[in-house]
Amino acid sequence: MLYNGETGFIQSADGSEVTILFTTGDACETCGLKVVCAPGKQSQRLLTLPQAGEFQPGQKVQIEELSNLELHLAFIQFGIPMAAFLLGLFLGYVLPFQDILPRELSAFLVACVGLGLSFFVARQFVQRIVDIIPEKYLRIVPCV
């Protein structure tokens, strides 16, 4: 999981946002889901979320994942390009480009165009998810 069960300390709370400081683990080096966190120079990560309660700087908190963020991002990152490439292969194979190019070459070229267009679609979906991550995917729980 991305943040599920991790504990950190409130670095700043300004009324509308809370910034949580985490120490970076070994898993951060290979993590491909750096959508929300930014690894720091002193092996620290910062996470900024909208404030959903009363938190004080220095308070120990835990992040709880409400929905499977990694699964959603993996689908967008891999599923959409794969579907676009396969759809492009099919369309390039059945469209009448045989007078200009061989069928296999036209299928591959249309699949590459579909793959290129999927970049823009995936980027829009990721931007939507990043905008709703605090409300839908993560919750701050104070440690006792």
Residue 8 backbone phi and psi in degrees, to 5: -150, -175
Both 84 and 60 in one domain: the answer is no
Both 105 and 73 in one domain: the answer is yes
pLDDT reported for residue 4: 62
Distances (CA, A) of 26 to 39, 88, 143: 12, 39, 23
Both 59 and 78 in one domain: the answer is no
Both 79 and 117 in one domain: the answer is yes
Both 81 and 128 in one domain: the answer is yes
Both 78 and 40 in one domain: the answer is no
Residue 2 counted as domain residue: no
List the structure tokens of 67: 């929905």
Both 94 and 80 in one domain: the answer is yes
Residue 1 counted as domain residue: no
Distance CA 51, CA 144 (A): 19
Q: How many domains does the chain have?
A: 2
List the structure tokens of 82: 């794969």
List the structure tokens of 98: 């045989």
Containing structural domain, residue 32: 7-65+137-142
pLDDT of the chain, 144 residues: tens digit per residue: 355 677 888 888 887 788 888 876 655 555 655 555 555 555 677 777 777 778 888 888 887 777 777 788 888 989 999 999 999 999 988 887 767 888 888 899 999 999 999 999 999 988 887 777 666 777 777 786
Both 110 and 76 in one domain: the answer is yes
Helices and strands per DSSP (H, E), number in the chain: 3, 6
Both 38 and 77 in one domain: the answer is no
